[in-house]
Structure 1
Amino acid sequence: MNKAVALSVAGLDSGNGAGLETDIKVYEILGIHGVGALTAITAQNTRGISRVYPLPQDVLKSQLDALFSDFDIRSAKLGMIYTKEQFQILVDSLPSAIPLVTDPVIYAKDGTPLIKDIDEYKRTILPRTTVLTPNALEASLLSGLKIRSIEDVKVVSKLISKNFGIPYVIIKGGHLEGKYSVDVLYDSIRDEYHQIGYERVTSNKNTHGTGSVFATAISAGLAKGEDIISSFRTARDLLQSSIRYGLEIGRGIGPIDPVSPTLVKAMRYDVINEMEKFAETVEKWDGFYKLIPEVQSNLAHAIQPEYVKGLEDIAVFRDRIVRNWDNRVRVGLPVVFGKPTHTARLLLTILGYNNKARVLINIRFSDDAVRLLKETGYDVIEVNRELEPSSHIEGKSMQWLVTFVHNTYGSIPNVIFDRGVKGKEAMIRLWTSSIDEMINTLKYLSERL
């Protein structure tokens, strides 16, 4: 097997939120073999940097010489580079054919300076840069102009490109106000602009490492031979997802997590396979039809609970599980994520109180079924649906049901049932921690009813 190779030149973040170690993770996530040259060691955590130890210039040169003498490096990403001696070593060592994506790490989030000589940085590093990825504050420092709007971003990106001979300048809009964060790419080759906007992730304050992830993802795209537009879009998509999964660790600003989006994709694949296994299994059972209520059933299956953000992380069958005239069961494949069924909404609400819930189904009520579920060792609670407010909003019944149970009993049992009310069929709702547990429980019921 062969992989494209890309380089990161950056500092070591002892808190593992940005820097060289994050860059290598991003390369690997995007199918690139990442190699690295270390410029400095930092003593830092989520609250800030307490010390910076720049590596001697000859150590940086030795790393670069070792890498370029052996690997066919297709692109490079530059993060923290501290001294003017290091600037010159990098420029002298980097072959002219290799595109350089520069994340101008001028200050850390806590205000610690990460470039010792900004004027020399402008004279040495920026003219060698292929793609520059400053945020709005960094772009203002490099251009001397304030940025307050998207029009300002366009003016400044073109000015920076012209002043330093940089083919592509991408100014990130995270520091500008507004509901949407808009990143602007200025392409000096074609003299045109490209914009990508995303709704801001306001639910997560943990944004350490955004610059590292974004610039490295662009470098990964270039290493694979993608054009700048494609690389820009891939990088922005990954960044948005990484912010969404920002880690609540430490006592300050936690890091974003570029690994989680890939893990979630794998989890969704596993969920689909497990639900297809469920469908194949129950369609072969002679007695499964006895569990299907008049309104029919559906199964909801979540990815690992700690990664669930909403209904988009919960799968159901597109159509219901139905009982045919001959008592054969048909499952409404395919499996889909994000469909707002009763079972999906119910499981999502339960996950807010109990992170052991993974799989949920609604089945036909009978006193015998309730008795059998109690015999298996499940906690069972009955809810009187007549207590549900008559003015309750359509689609919120499942939320009311779970909230009522939790507020009344202090926990969410595996089994919640009701005997129905006018216009609503009596129902049993069962959740389990795995698909195998669900299959075994339903088989136990169907064989004894």
Structure 2
Amino acid sequence: MALTAITVQNTRGIKEVYPVSPEQLASQIGWLKEDFDFKYAKLGMVYNSGQFKVVSEELSDKRLVVDTVIYAKDGTQLIKDLEDYKRFVLRKAFIVTPNAVEASMLTGIKVESLRDQEVVARALHEMFGVPYVVVKGGHVKGEYSFDVVFDGKEFYEVGYPRIEQKNTHGTGSVFASAIAAELSKGNDVRSAVEVARRLLQGSILYGLEVGKGIGPVDPYFLLKDSMKYKIMEEMREFGDFVEGLECFWKLIPEVQSNFSHSVPPEYVRGLDDIATFRGRIVRTWDRKVKVGFPAVFGYPTHTARLLLSLTSQGVKADSLINIRYDERAIRLLRNLGYEAVEVNRELEPQHGEGKTMQWIVEYVVENYGKVPNVIYDKGMKGKEAMIRFWTNGVDEMKNSLEYLCREL
């Protein structure tokens, strides 16, 4: 990576821009070229005419994927000398990826519809000789958006649903970088754009709620599959743990127990992100414990639904178990420093199957203003008294359960 400027910024905007000199930029690019043999390069913010000329000269033999980032989200101008930018950068581009606003600024053509995207894409191709133009549709109104790709002969569209998400800082950079990465792997332009769009949609969906302004998108969500592999390993270890824990049978209620464990809470979007045991955790006649392996994602147990309801409220919980109600257990959990609150199940309204866990969380939030780690009820006719206990970390859960078993 070659740095074009040092910016003073946070999520609320850019305060100052300190561009590096053309000589410093040329030195960075030259040193990278000595180490890496690359065919494609992605350009983002290139600030002024001196830098434009360096890019044009130093990367003359590369195929440039250009993110035309003219203004930041707060309105700060990130490209000075726009006419020189068109002459030195756009005319060297292999692909440009403007949004509707940027495309309008570069051509003078107003973009308000899919048809306008096609018109401006052709104009960019003809005005600057860019082989491939991708006009993104995120700024065009509608519930469904399209990226319009033009190769000089034909148009094709990549459609996607609009995501209502505040935290979108870095969308253009992620999109163009993904295209460059896919092209570098030998993929064609069309498939590269499709992959980049899928990556961007997920990154927007999991945008990070940080700072007081517009947070960044999060491409890290791609590691969700590997996160799930880790969760499955931890579920297996947890099952072995409770089967080997002497006296754990004392904690199991009449309806039996189950344990749910999720990917990090910020990445939970549904039951498919939460693992639980297909069978329950049961006690046998000889005071042993049997875990209902295997662990599976997406199984709608009460513990999985409750964990999903917690994360939906922003609670940083990734592990949850239900255990037998015992006043001594409540006292012991409080001794560990956990808050415990009671839910009155007699107040539960009539609702459809699977809504009880959501109601419990809503009841606690409404009556206590937050969700403590221990939620219990003393039961009612047809409903066994129960303790529901969550932690943010499976090791904390194990340590707490071990303490309960030892002290009960």
Pair in the same fold by TM > 0.5? yes
Name the structure 2 match of 1:89.
54
- Contact in 2 for aligned 1:297/1:320 (Cα 8 Å): no
CA distance in 2, matches of 1:180, 1:353: 28
CA distance in 1, matches of 2:129, 2:7: 31
CA distance in 2, matches of 1:304, 1:420: 31
Within a 5 Å distance, the mapping from 1:205-354 to structure 2 comes to: 205-258=166-219, 260-261=220-221, 267-284=227-244, 288=248, 291-305=251-265, 307-311=266-270, 314-317=273-276, 319-323=278-282, 329-336=290-297, 338-351=298-311
Correspondence 1:403 to 2:366: no
Change (3 A) 1:328 1:134: same
3-state SS in 1 of match to 2:35: coil
CA distance in 2, matches of 1:181, 1:198: 6
Q: 1:308 offset after TM fit, Å?
A: 4.5
Which of residues 56, 59, 65 in structure 1 aligns to 2:30? Answer: 65
**AA aligned opposite 2:238:** F
- Contact in 2 for aligned 1:406/1:412 (Cα 8 Å): yes
Residues 179-221 of structure 1: per-residue CA shift (max 9 Å, x gap) = 2333232334x73413131331x2x323222211211121122
Change (3 A) 1:416 1:114: closer
Change (3 A) 1:340 1:172: farther
- Contact in 2 for aligned 1:302/1:313 (Cα 8 Å): no
Residues 198-245 of structure 1: per-residue CA shift (max 9 Å, x gap) = 331x2x323222211211121122223233233223322332233234
CA distance in 1, matches of 2:208, 2:317: 22
Correspondence 1:199 to 2:165: no
CA distance in 1, matches of 2:190, 2:277: 35
CA distance in 2, matches of 1:290, 1:269: 31
Residues 34-59 of structure 1: per-residue CA shift (max 9 Å, x gap) = x32x3334444444444444433333
Name the structure 2 match of 1:123.
87
Q: 1:77 offset after TM fit, Å?
A: 0.8
Change (3 A) 1:288 1:159: same
CA distance in 2, matches of 1:182, 1:209: 19
- Contact in 1 for aligned 2:332/2:404 (Cα 8 Å): no
- Contact in 2 for aligned 1:417/1:429 (Cα 8 Å): yes
Instruction: Identify which of structures 1 and 2 has the higher relative contact order when contacts are C-alpha pairs closer than 8 Å and 6+ apart.
Output: 1
Percent of pairs identical after alignment?
50
Q: 1:321 offset after TM fit, Å?
A: 1.3
Greater CA drift, 69-78 or 126-135: 69-78
Q: 1:444 offset after TM fit, Å?
A: 5.3
Change (3 A) 1:233 1:283: farther
Greater CA drift, 126-135 or 430-439: 430-439
Within a 5 Å distance, the mapping from 1:336-415 to structure 2 comes to: 336=297, 338-351=298-311, 355=315, 357-365=317-325, 369-376=326-333, 377=335, 379-389=339-349, 391-409=350-368, 411-415=370-374
Residues 92-139 of structure 1: per-residue CA shift (max 9 Å, x gap) = 22142x221001122222333333332332233223211111001111
- Contact in 1 for aligned 2:262/2:268 (Cα 8 Å): no
CA distance in 1, matches of 2:210, 2:66: 28
Q: 1:86 offset after TM fit, Å?
A: 2.8
CA distance in 1, matches of 2:343, 2:215: 41
Q: 1:300 offset after TM fit, Å?
A: 1.6
Name the structure 2 match of 1:4.
none
Q: 1:81 offset after TM fit, Å?
A: 1.9
Which of residues 129, 143, 154 in structure 2 aligns to 1:179? Answer: 143
Greater CA drift, 392-401 or 286-295: 286-295
- Contact in 2 for aligned 1:353/1:411 (Cα 8 Å): no
Change (3 A) 1:348 1:113: same
TM-score (norm 2): 0.84
CA distance in 2, matches of 1:430, 1:295: 16
**AA aligned opposite 1:83:** N
**AA aligned opposite 2:388:** R
Q: Which runs of 5+ in 2 are unaligned?
A: none
How many residue pairs match? The answer is: 403
TM-score (norm 1): 0.77
Name the structure 2 match of 1:5.
none
- Contact in 2 for aligned 1:311/1:344 (Cα 8 Å): no
Correspondence 1:156 to 2:120: yes
